[in-house]
Amino acid sequence: MTQRKLKIGIDVGGTFTHAVAIDVTRTELVGKAVVPTTHGSEEGVAAGVVQSMLRLLEEAAISPDEVVLIAHSTTQATNALLEGDVAKVGVLGLGSGASGLRARREANVGRVELGPGAFLETTFRYLDVTGGLDEAKAAALIDELIAGGAKAIVAAEPFSVDRPENENRVVALAQERGVPATATAGLTQLYGLRMRTLTAVINASMLPIMIETANRTADAVARSGIDAPLMVMRSDGGIMDIDAMRQRPILTMLSGPAAGVAAALMYERITNGIFVEVGGTSSDICLIRNGRPEIKAAEIGGRRLFVRTLDVRTVGVAGGSVPRVRRGKLFDVGPRSAHIAGLEYESFTEDLGDVECALMRPKPGDPEDYLALRRGGDITHALTPTGASNLLGLSEGYGRGHAASIQSAFEAAGRYFGTSAKAVATRMLELGAARVAPVVKRLVAEHKIAATDLVMVGGGGGAEAVVPFTARSLGMEFKIARHAEVISAIGVALGILQDSVERTLLHPTESELLALRREAFDRVARMGADPETIEVHVEIDRRERRVRATASGSPQLRTKDLSGPRPGEDELRAIAAGPLGVGETEVSSLGSRDSWLRTFTAERRARVFFGLFRVWRMPATVLDAEGVVRYVTKDAFAVATKAEDAEGQLSELIERYTTWGDGGLVVPEVQLVKPHQIVDLSGLGEANQLLALASAELAALDAADPVTILVIPRS
């Protein structure tokens, strides 16, 4: 019997820590366990990570040698910033001449506001490095910073992205004194000393507590007998090894929602959709396009950082939100929840019995307009969207509660409002949808997508209380994720290894782009990613004058391990027809039928210019062998070829579909479909850049390997 290969994912939440085991061969959940999050333990949340893992091994009968990877999320960085539980940071500015004046001005960031009432304290010293770094003087200044209360050090010098030696030496001097340190150029290769220093200061402030947590977690896992890589969730949806977390804990900041999005991508295999993760108090919303979540720059205290996070919008409505009353009518739900108000859920209480409705104030200073349930003289239970979804027959999974208790609660609400129990439940879910729907509308409008072209996917224990009504109000299809209550832990287990490199380049040459691509590739390869799985996406931001290369890969090449039935040719054609907007008989297959990735195209007529004219469009979609849609475009020119001929044909296609715009030549968007990968070249804006990176991607293929070129004209 073949031994299973299992990934363990552990999601550290505010109340509970969930652990799951995923069979990487079939992407199936084989076990799950939960323990209370161990905030009060001497080992901190690391204790809960190990406790949940050990319980999972026991309850799911998992042998330690079956585990090939352990990954966990962490709220510690985010909580430390929100609560101001961070270390004082000493900044040593370096410079000479005019750059010295700049270092004194821009590297001295002062007191940093993290949020309402939360601040990060810094202290500053300056060292003139004209003629080179004087290590004795640098050491003396570091000692002064430490004596002034600094628990971590930042080295900041203008243009250190080009000459990092001085910053690196200061970091080494601090570490020799047992103090963690960060070089600004060690976090980002972008110019902009003020923002680079601020990013480094935030990172350094978390180093003491995060290094301690990382060490405790690694030691505890080692003692458990599991010999597998230990990874941590990043804020951009990828994972990184524990050593990277010890150096760059800032990359775990705001990573809570990232785990759920990773599950939507890797477990539910969503290509184009809105993922809504619904907890008890709030819901997180993220847009996924062509298998990629939208990304944005992180902010702290209203100031941007050189850190990328998922573009997640949070709304204060969820499965435990408490309804509110004005002039005898329901007018809102939330933002207070049963958990915050100290109330129990009506739906999860066995034999609730007779209750009556009463208004209450969840927290001092809150308005006394929240509707709750009085039982035996005391206000003890909440009327929740979770209960409402149960009453209306929408809850079939984790959120399913005790029918008699739910009926009793909503009948009491019906008497209070002079209407039926179902009318109250319907109104509550409508109000919840009214909070979420505008956020979804803004999100899709910003990215110029029609909501009806997307599917809404619900995750989290409260998904059934929010997603169905919201999707229907927007005319969208929806689905509730499998094992929605542990979707974040699943996302942690399936998270891909990821890292990115950014540089300020005014006019990037082909050699500079290739070097940046190689650096990103090598970073992920060093973490343990199988080189055959590594994909590198290079994009050029002309407005910001920066280039970014993001590499991602998996420790195992999943496509080689899959077994079991797969869709036949007719079924694949039918699946492809849906996003193409045509009948399955109108769909054509391009290229080899033996490849893991398959391209399907069609032709259809579309009206343009207010319906006055009709034009032919060639939509295309790429499916994998399991029938999962991996890429969709409404209009493309597609060519199936071989690797040895692809570069020449691509050159001809780029020339043919390049147009003139207000700013000059506009090259088309290009996607290369290799046998196992889609190479996204859409971030490049010049023909020579496209051809250089395409050549690098094609070099690893055999001459006869099939390749499909998708060229999408830009408007």
Under 8 Å between Cβ of 193 and 106:
yes
What pairing do the DSSP bridges indicate for beta strands 152-156 and 181-183? parallel
Question: Residue 521's closest CA among 512, 530, 511?
Answer: 530
Token pair belonging to 269: 């295999």
The neighbouring-strand residues paired with 695 are: none
Under 8 Å between Cβ of 197 and 186:
no
Secondary structure of residue 393 in the 3-state scheme: coil
Burial 110-129, CB ≥16 within 10 A → b, else e:
eebebeeebebbbbbbbbeb
For residue 61, count CB atoms less than 10 angstroms from its CB and return exposed for 0-12, middle for 13-18, buried for 19 or more: exposed
Distance (Å, rounded) from C-alpha 82 to C-alpha 62? 37
Give every CB contact of residue 643 below 8 A, 6+ residues apart in sequence: 698, 701, 702, 703, 704, 705, 706, 707
Token pair belonging to 428: 């509550």
581 conformational bin, left if phi > 0, alpha if psi -120 to 50, beta if neither: left
Token pair belonging to 517: 């691509």
Give every CB contact of residue 578 below 8 A, 6+ residues apart in sequence: none
Question: Residue 29's closest CA among 49, 52, 4?
Answer: 4
pLDDT of residue 313: 87
Under 8 Å between Cβ of 77 and 253:
yes
Under 8 Å between Cβ of 154 and 90:
yes
Q: Helices 463-474 and 421-446 meet at what angle, rounded to 10?
A: 70
Under 8 Å between Cβ of 462 and 429:
no
Token pair belonging to 251: 């990359």
Question: Residue 17's closest CA among 54, 56, 48?
Answer: 48
Residue with tokens 């209070």: 416
Distance (Å, rounded) from C-alpha 643 to C-alpha 42? 57
DSSP state, residue 340: H
Question: Residue 675's closest CA among 602, 710, 625, 627?
Answer: 625
pLDDT of residue 604: 66
Under 8 Å between Cβ of 634 and 657:
no
Secondary structure of residue 116 in the 3-state scheme: coil
Give me the torsion for CA of 617, 622, 625, 626, rounded to 10°: -90
Secondary structure of residue 613 in the 3-state scheme: strand
Sign of torsion over alpha carbons 219, 224, 228, 233: negative
Tally of CA atoms within 13 A in the half-sphere of 70 that contains its CB: 26
Q: What are phi and psi of 646, to 5 degrees?
A: -65, -40
Token pair belonging to 672: 């290369």
Secondary structure of residue 262 in the 3-state scheme: helix
Q: In Å, how far are 131, 134, 154, 482 from 127, measured between CA atoms?
A: 12, 9, 13, 57
User: Would you call the peptide bond into 323 cis, given omega within 30 degrees of 0 as the criterion?
Assistant: no
Low-confidence ranges of the chain (pLDDT < 50): 557-564, 608-615
Q: DSSP characters for 400-461? A: ---HHHHHHHHHHHHHHHTS-HHHHHHHHHHHHHHHHHHHHHHHHHHTT--GGGSEEEEEST
Distance (Å, rounded) from C-alpha 485 to C-alpha 279? 9
Question: Residue 108's closest CA among 98, 94, 87?
Answer: 94
CA 132 to chain centre: 42
